[in-house]
Structure 1
Amino acid sequence: METKKDEGTPLRGILCLKIRQDMKRIEETEDCFILDFNPSDSFDIKRLSFSGDDCEEGDKDVAIIHETGQVACRDYPHPRHLCLNFPFGSTPNASHCDLCYCYVCDKPAPCEDWIFSPAHCNAKDSDFWKSMKP
């Protein structure tokens, strides 16, 4: 009996990007990849090196003037506890952006129970809140 040789597979390997500096090169060649870092994390300016005649001591201001690509938890609908515009825990949990939705109700924030006990604005991925889902 003759077996048919595989002509290929629709499955592709998953690329996990660990270094921010490789991001631009990978974006040009890959449709989808996993980031092993948060692209919205601020960087430590002390780790930057400044050199050259046009950079005087004390003149170390950095400004980001352009950004490409989209970030899922900022630019697409997302549960409130994953919002990058209003980080959970460091901003009031009742605050939300236009793309936040209630983790419990799956409705746009604010839902009917957003600030009432138990306040859905505090919902996150935990056993307690999972048990509250309909």
Structure 2
Amino acid sequence: MKRARTLSDDSPIRAIACLKKIDDIRRFEETDDCFILGFDPTESSPVKDVSSKPLNKDADDDICVLAEKGKIALRDYPHSRHLCLKFPFKTTPSESYCEKCYCYVCDSAAPCMYWTVSRHCAAENSGHWKDKRKVRKIAY
């Protein structure tokens, strides 16, 4: 059943449904990107390929990610090194990079020729790195 389009459909803010019954999962998976489960899905779960180990990497019990569906932009598509999900910028050495990382300054695949020499591995979208990026774009 299609609902009538409203002005609020253009808003990036969406309501999030809280499912109370396990039977509602399939119906909501077809139309919604995100919903909250108001029950334990591991008890006779109809969802296939959900690992028993949560995808959370922190100790916060308030929210628990059970599964992912689709591509994750900062993991599965090219991204600046400081935005990498595989090697978080604040908790891993800045020299680290994944196969999708690129240099913020050079706009080339990591590692660039200045990766460790001029510390492009530490570049992020702020301060003097923004200036270096602008200068490089003008020069090339």
Identity of aligned residues (%): 45
Q: How does 1:73-84 map to 2 (within 5 A)?
A: 73-84=74-85
Shift of 1:80: 0.2
Q: 1:28 matched to which residue of 2?
A: 30
What letter matches 2:105 in structure 1?
Answer: V
Matched length: 101
Task: Quote the RMSD (CA, aligned, Å).
Answer: 3.7
Aligned partner of residue 10 in structure 2, secondary structure? coil
Q: TM-score, normalised by structure 2?
A: 0.57
Aligned partner of residue 28 in structure 1, secondary structure? helix
Tell me the alpha carbon deviations over residues 17-69 of structure 1, each in whole angstroms, 9 at most, x when there is no partner: 575968x87763369x9xxxxx9774623x48xxxxxxxxxxxxx995x5312
Tell me the alpha carbon deviations over residues 77-112 of structure 1, each in whole angstroms, 9 at most, x when there is no partner: 000000000000200000000000000000000000
Q: For the pair shown, which has the larger CA radius of gyration, 1 or 2?
A: 1
CA distance in 2, matches of 1:63, 1:82: 20
Q: 1:107 matched to which residue of 2?
A: 108
Q: 1:16 matched to which residue of 2?
A: 13
Q: TM-score, normalised by structure 1?
A: 0.59
Change (3 A) 1:85 1:13: same
Q: 1:85 matched to which residue of 2?
A: 86
> Structure 1: which 5+ residue stretches go unaligned?
1-11, 34-38, 49-61
